[in-house]
Structure 1
Amino acid sequence: MSRLGALLVQRLRRDWLQLTLWIAGTVALALSGFAGVAEAYGTEQDRLGILAAVMANPVILLFRGLPSGPDRSAFVVFLLFPFLAMMAAFMSAFLAVRHTRGDEEAGRLELIDATPAGRWMPTVATLVHGVLANAVLGILVALSLLAGGAETEGSLLVGFAAAATGLVFLGLGMLSAQLMRTSRAANSLTVWILLSTFVLAGVGNALGTPSDDLTHMESSWLAWTSPFGWAENTRAYDENLWWPALLCIGAFLVLTAGAFALQAGRDQGAGIVAERRGRANARAGLASTTALVSRLSAPSTIGWIVGALVAGALSTALGSVVDQIGGENPAIADVLTSLAAGSDLQQSVIVVFFMMIGLLAACAAVQTVARARQEETHGTAEPVLATPTARVRWLADFLIAGVVAVALTCAGGVAGAALGAIGSDAASELIRSAAVAAAGQVVAASVFLVLTALVFTVAPRLTIPLGWTLLVVAIVIGLFGPLLGLSDEVTQTLSPFAVTPQLDGDTIDLRGLPWLLLAVVAGGAASLGLMRRRELAAAG
């Protein structure tokens, strides 16, 4: 077997489960889209009503794609494509960093460099591995759309555009791995750019120009600064433009060339961006392990809080606008109330936005526990546990930091809602609705904190892939359940975000709060109990 082939086989053996989960989840979302749209928006008149509402309130495009007509296939792409591309992007970014900076940080690349494979072959293998993974994802997405009855060229274009977006972030992940000295920093840089470009595409679409018949939106220049904007402007099942997706291929080639150029100019184990020097002596406040874990988690937590602050401000600032539009066009009211299960439209808007804030809080929770796994595999947990600190106390510190991160993220959403409600006649009522929604999302997000902690104690190697996969499944079901035709029972069973308390007029409907609290308490206690008997693992 060739050296490249041997490295590819080794990567596939390590990644088969993670890649299967990412690709299967993306394909399942695409496959279920046709059935859901056929059930929820079976007639062209239904789809025209939604598109008209979107043109009247383009802010909805922050969370959807680019409208390209009322055709069923084009409507599916409008609803789902940004998230298909995002899943391909996350898969590719994590793959790139894992097999470059992650392996280098763990000492694996140094061992491979000492073999006839040399220094460059592992990077080439990572490149080929990522391209193959995206090719499989794109082909299966196209086949799933064809199975739903979509046209051939549009289906192939959707698969190609999703894979091309993934390739952009494969290149970006490889470049970040050369810039940053740790895999944690490389992943953070890549994810922040990914999320920023996703938002840029949404804002660029929202600032675009609607067509006279209110069925199409022409993106503004801002969307063309984002690979997500390029992919969305392929307009599958409408104009079927291939050249915008080729911009993604061009960006991928440039980023990959940059990664190889930077690798040629640095030493093994070093990064282009120099690390900031730490203090010679730690502050007195860092004397406990709880303080240490909080310090390690602070930078990422601040980022989630900022995102929640923006979403919270939009939830109340747009409430009155959507209420007015909902009165003029019942289609948008039906969408929001079906997503939020609410009777009042303004409250429904707040619930929908705070569901997204809950998702951000859950991301903060999963990331905090994933950091415990990284501390373990990087060898930095061992010196801490060599002190009188017990393993249960060590994990409990990460759970405490996770709960605090969740609470602060949701509190940031409430603060944003208060800012957005300034000047509103119903400011106090809007803030009260936001506070109730935020409290429920704290509990829902904490479910994923304890779930990830359980995985960490039972199957440590699956902590990061399975923790994020469980969250992605809940996100898809929570955001798309009603649109995909899933029953309320299925949605509420599989997504904690769908059963949080909310206002029903002047009263608070607790809905699934008791069960969520029970799950959090039981999961936390079980993870701490199991940690008593788990040995520390030094290898990832």
Structure 2
Amino acid sequence: MRPLSVLVAQRLRRDWLQLTLWVVGTVALAFAGFSGVQEAYGGEQDRLGILAAVMANPVILLFRGLPSGTDESAFIVFLLFPWLAILAALMSTFLAVRHTRGDEEAGRLELVDATPAGRWTPTIATLVHGTLANVVLGILVASTFLAGGAASEGSWLVGTATAVVGLVFLGLGMLSAQLMRTSRGANSLTVWILLVTFVLAGMGNAIGTPSDDLTHMESSWLTWTSPFGWAENTRAFDVNLWWPVLLCLGAFVVLTAAAFALQGVRDLGESIVAERLGRASGRAGLSSTLALVARLSTPSTIGWMVGALLTGALSTSLGGVVDQIGGENPAIADVLTSLASEGDLQQAVVVVFFTMAGLLAACAAVQTVARARQEEAHGTAEPVLATPVQRVRWLTEFIGIGFAAIILTCAAALGGAALGAVGAEDASGLLQTAAVSAAGQAVAATVFLVLTALVFTVAPRLTITVGWTLVVVAIVLGLFGPLLGLPESLSNLSPFAVAPELDGDSIDVRGLWWLLLTIGVGAAASLTLMRRRELAPAG
């Protein structure tokens, strides 16, 4: 037991900052839900109007939870639970991969295996570590609901549901680490599965059966293919069903057992999925470091572009439907226009969807700069910088490719908007709104590019953690701030919330100038500081 306790303690010391950021961010989102709903939707009729609008066209709020009545606490769960669960899932996924395939890839696991700890203890320590993190997260989420005056059973149920979704993805992350040869491949596999299951749950709810009073939705069979759907069907603060929690726990046990079984049949450093053999000689186009950076970033950029294409298509294809529903249900019109500047409802819909496209562009940018940190931590940056390539040039190329990823992602969203607008009554107007929004969100996404690059130069070991945290905080403030009733001054701290957009027939530049100033200062500071920074290995 002593090697296990020592390893768990070492993991907790190593991860205390990252876990604190994940847990505090998730709990803060739950806490903000209470104050926001009480202020913006304090009356039952207000909540009933929103639910009626969702039932009329569930696709509008596809990424919400499962409607389970007009009770204030149940309404908060409807608005926020999927995002509490996805934060728990991401925390667990990255933790599992970092301490299994990540340590193995870096050579640390081989050293630990040579001690009395043996080969199995580090994996068991990861399991204990991740379970403790999710238990603490679940307790704190439940405590937040209790502190807000919510019913006891519902509070503990929503906290438990959040924790068990995290456990499912802890097991999935451990399994992916056995399947894939690199931590990058394992993380990519788990994140794609996470996104697919998240969307499946939303789609299953969207095509479900509404109740006669338009306050509840019965999920379709599609929802039951996703752990997010299982957790949502606990219906906290309504009927309080505990048995779906057992489905998540069962999946956790199966995935964890599979991970241990696969570890027992493979050699250290190998993987179940064989690594694809490379070419005997490189292409002529890969003779420069810029081409290398582009090659490393291409697969992830394509993934973000596909998501942006679908987002753009929804932004214009739903415009006419939302306009009709907004006239019949003023509540949904208030929600959408609160997320955008003063303009007609169709413009507001496009702005909201392009805010999501801006989020995808920011993710593409952060992932590109994070790749520079991964190259440094894995030791593959050192051979490149041992050549005449200067450090400033090396970072400049990552920033340049990151900016290209932003432009391509926003362009894909605009292309999707053009496809969705085919046959629309006001296609030209919708495309004009989409074009201005795409340009504005590209500027907003660039802020995250340069800020992540700045973190990379001053605190390289925090690059990935801080970069993604900035994106999560900004999207919560920018996209959910108005829904949660947060002060406008706080919501406007998010670059997504102050990006230029079309207001009627004119362009409202909003926060363009301070966004450009931030980009200029951040880029200059990161490149200047990079000149004197030493390489920082993994630690």
TM-score norm. by structure 1 comes to 0.99
Say if 1:65 and 1:82, in contact at 8 Å, map to a contact too. yes
1:498 matched to which residue of 2? 497
2:40 matched to which residue of 1? 40
Distance 2:11 2:407 in 1: 38
2:521 matched to which residue of 1? 522
2:486 matched to which residue of 1? 486
Distance 2:317 2:84 in 1: 29
Q: Aligned-pair RMSD on alpha carbons? A: 0.8
Is 1:315 matched with 2:315?
yes
CA offset digits 1:111-133 (Å, max 9, x no partner): 01000000000000000000000
2:414 matched to which residue of 1? 414
Cα offset, 1:536, TM superposition: 1.0
Cα offset, 1:480, TM superposition: 1.2
Q: How does 1:310-389 map to 2 (within 5 A)?
A: 310-389=310-389
1:55 matched to which residue of 2? 55
2:239 matched to which residue of 1? 239
1:508 matched to which residue of 2? 507
1:4 matched to which residue of 2? 4
1:297 matched to which residue of 2? 297
Say if 2:36 and 2:485, in contact at 8 Å, map to a contact too. yes
Q: How does 1:457-476 map to 2 (within 5 A)?
A: 457-476=457-476
Is 1:536 matched with 2:507?
no
Greater Cα shift, 515-524 or 325-334 = 515-524
Say if 2:342 and 2:504, in contact at 8 Å, map to a contact too. no
Q: Secondary structure at the match of 1:482?
A: helix
CA offset digits 1:173-195 (Å, max 9, x no partner): 00000000000000000001001
Cα offset, 1:505, TM superposition: 1.3
CA offset digits 1:59-113 (Å, max 9, x no partner): 0342210000000000000000000000000000000000000000010110010
1:182 matched to which residue of 2? 182
- Give the counterpart letter for 1:136 in structure 2: V
**Which consecutive unaligned segments of at least 5 residues does structure 1 have?**
none
Distance 2:138 2:399 in 1: 38
- Give the counterpart letter for 1:539 in structure 2: A
Q: Secondary structure at the match of 2:483?
A: coil
Greater Cα shift, 339-348 or 164-173 = 339-348
Distance 2:174 2:132 in 1: 15
| Number of aligned residue pairs | 539
- Give the counterpart letter for 2:166 in structure 1: G
Identity of aligned residues (%): 78
- Give the counterpart letter for 1:523 in structure 2: G
Say if 1:61 and 1:205, in contact at 8 Å, map to a contact too. no
Distance 2:119 2:126 in 1: 12
Say if 2:500 and 2:511, in contact at 8 Å, map to a contact too. yes
Say if 2:461 and 2:536, in contact at 8 Å, map to a contact too. no
Say if 1:60 and 1:206, in contact at 8 Å, map to a contact too. no
Distance 1:64 1:337 in 2: 18
2:161 matched to which residue of 1? 161
Say if 1:319 and 1:346, in contact at 8 Å, map to a contact too. yes
- Give the counterpart letter for 1:508 in structure 2: I
Q: Secondary structure at the match of 2:489?
A: helix
After the TM superposition, which parts of structure 1 deviate over 4 Å for at least 4 consecutive aligned residues?
none
Say if 1:61 and 1:203, in contact at 8 Å, map to a contact too. no
Say if 1:326 and 1:332, in contact at 8 Å, map to a contact too. yes
Say if 1:96 and 1:173, in contact at 8 Å, map to a contact too. yes
Distance 1:480 1:291 in 2: 38
Cα offset, 1:341, TM superposition: 2.5
Distance 1:526 1:57 in 2: 47
Cα offset, 1:417, TM superposition: 0.4
Q: Secondary structure at the match of 2:189?
A: helix
Say if 2:351 and 2:434, in contact at 8 Å, map to a contact too. yes
Is 1:146 matched with 2:146?
yes
**Which consecutive unaligned segments of at least 5 residues does structure 2 have?**
none
Cα offset, 1:538, TM superposition: 2.6
